[in-house]
A and B are shown apart, each in its own frame.
Chain A
Amino acid sequence: MVGVKSVPSPAISADDRSHEVDHPSSPVAQFGADQPLRLDCGVDLSPFQIAYQTYGELNADRSNAVLICHALTGDQHVANVHPVTGKSGWWETLVGPGRPLDPRHYFIICSNVIGGCMGSTGPASINPATGKVWGLDFPVITIPDMVRAQAMLIDRLGIDTLFAVVGGSMGGMQVLQWTAAYPGRVYSALAIACATRHSAQNIAFHELGRQAVMADPDWHNGGYADQGIHPHRGLAVARMAAHITYLSDAALHRKFGRRMQDRELPTFSFDADFQVESYLRYQGSSFVERFDANAYLYLTRAMDYFDIAADHGGVLAKAFAGIQTRFCVVSFTSDWLFPTSESRALVHALNASSARVSFAEIETDRGHDAFLLDVPEFFDISRAFLQSAGKARGLTAKDG
């Protein structure tokens, strides 16, 4: 008989995850009826909340604030132990003492995006109008919506101009949206492994992931929360498919090759014979422990809709006309999800707008995920950029 084993059930209960949704272990900024969030879809979202983390101290003239924008499945826990998984922060390679973003020099802020599931209002949150989980009643959000909510948080924190806005992937999209929407509030922008619009191929991969979630019978048309269940099988498959796009052929070959998982010979079954299969299953099952399936649908959709040029008459350069922000754009050679050509298109538009832009393509075989990994050349340029911008801004530029 052919052995069949699907993705295992999560080890962490849904309670841990759902508790963080409405009662996060992070500070929360509440916005009441007097401060609705104007969404691109035409809805005024109110009330809503934004969960965030900060590291370091805001200086006297409030000039050292750095906003980090997280990627699709990231959250505000940049450089602290994650409250659900117990793992270290997702960007501790870049953020921390002696790192390019050193909390001894900067006041570093990261908020969970609107539509997320780690404390900011999203489809997993309770809809105050019904007392039930929003589910698919939650309005569709966009990258500009995320940035609008972040700007409200920055206002609340009493910060006018951010010294830097930094992010990779979906975080990089937010960085670019910040510069397009609030050019006067961003002194420098570090946009990593991103694009000014989501490509057809990327939309296609997202649609694959969403269909995997929606094909799970436990999804219940988005109403699984009422049933006390979670479509973890569908979400795990979505994550597995997406995770492949974050890596590269060379990285997979180097890490796993055709090596077998705890066995010498094939089992002639559909068990995870290969290490790469086992790895992907692990990625899928660990992801569902901390992420809400509907939030995954909403956030992938937000990325799909992103197209800065479309919002500016189809001319990308218009989005950045007259901008004074210092830009640094970084791409990775083996990133096929957000390839260098996308970054170059951005750089050309910034050049056409006479913006102050630097660009480097980092040689690595680690694919899109390289921005989260220990890639010294990437840290070198990030440090060089932030330090020189800090000097120009009059911040102390010691070992930060």
Chain B
Amino acid sequence: MSVQEVLPLGGVAAGQSGQARADHLLVAEMVKPGSRVLDVGCGDGDLLQLLEARGIDGRGIELSREGVNRCVAKGLAVVQGDADTDLVNYPDDAFDYVILSQTLQATRQPKVVLENLLRIGHRAIVSFPNFGFWKMRLQLLIGGHMPRTENLPATWYDTANIHFCTIKDFVELCDAINVKMERSVALDLYGRPVPLNLPWWVWNMFGEQGVFLLTRGGQGK
């Protein structure tokens, strides 16, 4: 069973969702149509394109000029920049959602970045690879070396991912900086959501990545 069949994806045409990444589809489904979205680390703009197809007003930040170029060619509004240094320049409440997809672990100051996401946006959607995933644990426990997976093939000495965390770690950080989780989804190795009714430790063990819809503590619905 594919992710498309699992998730309610109103507004995404079949042709567009056909090739979209599982986590992109999940994120797109979390965003209300008609809202303003900033995608931090938007890469080639695939997610932004998916969002704009749903009538969402999207903007992007991307580190590589090649990525910016590909985004601009798609008609997207994308600025060359860095999550660590450039988010501070965005005004408060500028967006309805700020998305940080598979990038948090590569930032120098994840806590500051997360705080900025929820200053700029009313909500943030954050996804990251879960270092508590059973395959990771097994490699460290049995193999005795830093884990490498299909999705994270880099060695410890050339990886851009300098701040790995587990889902549990991330939940604790959110608590520490008064960030409320509106929705949490763990995806397994095949991009399928781990069922909601399972206890936390299962998520942290069997979730290959976590996707979270966050809002400011005390202000959320």
Contact = CB atoms under 8 A, between A and B. Distances in A.
A51 interface: no
A360 interface: yes
B53 interface: no
Given A351-B79, A377-B65, A358 B72 contact: yes
A33 B90 CA distance: 48
Nearest to A348: B89
A344 B61 CA distance: 12
B72 A388 contact: yes
Contacts of B65: 360-363, 377, 381
Interface string B80-112: 110000100111001000000000000000000
Interface string A358-400: 1111110000000000000100110011011101100000000
Contacts of B72: 328, 358, 360, 381, 384-385, 388
B73 A359 contact: no
Nearest to A385: B72
Given A348-B89, A360-B69, A388 B75 contact: yes
Chain A interface size band reads 20 to 34
A361 B80 contact: yes
Contacts of A348: 89-90
A342 to B, nearest CB: 14
Given A348-B89, A359-B80, A380 B69 contact: yes
Contacts of B81: 344, 359
Interface in B17-74: 36, 59, 65, 68-74
A170 interface: no
Contact of B91 (A352, A357, A359, A377): A352
B69 A359 contact: no
A356 interface: yes
B89 A381 contact: no
A351 B89 contact: yes
A365 to B, nearest CB: 15
B113 interface: no
Contact of B68 (A326, A363, A381, A392): A381
B28 to A, nearest CB: 20
A354 interface: yes
A344 B81 CA distance: 9
A359 to B, nearest CB: 4
Main secondary structure, interface of A, reads helix
Give chain B's interface residue range (CB within 8 Å of chain A): 20 to 34
B76 interface: yes
A329 to B, nearest CB: 8
Contacts of A384: 69-70, 72-73
B181 interface: no
A347 B70 CA distance: 19
A357 B74 contact: no
A30 to B, nearest CB: 40
A316 to B, nearest CB: 12
B78 interface: yes
A357 B86 CA distance: 15
A359 B79 contact: yes
A318 B70 CA distance: 30
Contact of A358 (B36, B76, B89, B90): B76
A328 B80 CA distance: 11
Nearest to B76: A358
Nearest to B70: A384
Contacts of B79: 347, 351, 357-359
Nearest to A359: B79
B52 to A, nearest CB: 11
A392 B52 CA distance: 13
A351 B90 CA distance: 7
A99 B162 CA distance: 42
A284 B70 CA distance: 41
B189 interface: no
Contact of B75 (A344, A360, A392): A392
A5 to B, nearest CB: 45
B12 interface: no
A351 B94 contact: yes
A358 B74 contact: no
A360 B73 contact: no
A201 B169 CA distance: 49
Contacts of A328: 72
Contacts of B76: 358
Given A381-B72, A385-B72, A391-B75, A351 B80 contact: no
Contacts of B80: 359-361
Given A359-B80, A361-B65, A361-B80, A351 B75 contact: no
Contact of A381 (B59, B69, B74): B69
Contact of B94 (A344, A347, A354, A363): A354
Nearest to B88: A348
B194 interface: no
A388 B73 contact: yes
Contacts of B90: 348, 351-352
B3 interface: no
Interface in A325-361: 326-328, 344, 347-348, 351-352, 354, 356-361
Interface of B: 36, 59, 65, 68-81, 86, 89-91, 94
13 contacts: A326-B77, A351-B59, A351-B79, A352-B91, A357-B77, A358-B71, A358-B79, A360-B69, A377-B65, A381-B65, A381-B69, A384-B69, A387-B73
Nearest 3 interchain pairs by C-beta: A388-B75, A384-B73, A359-B79
Given A359-B68, A392-B75, 10 more contacts: A326-B77, A354-B36, A357-B59, A358-B78, A360-B65, A360-B68, A360-B69, A381-B68, A388-B75, A389-B75
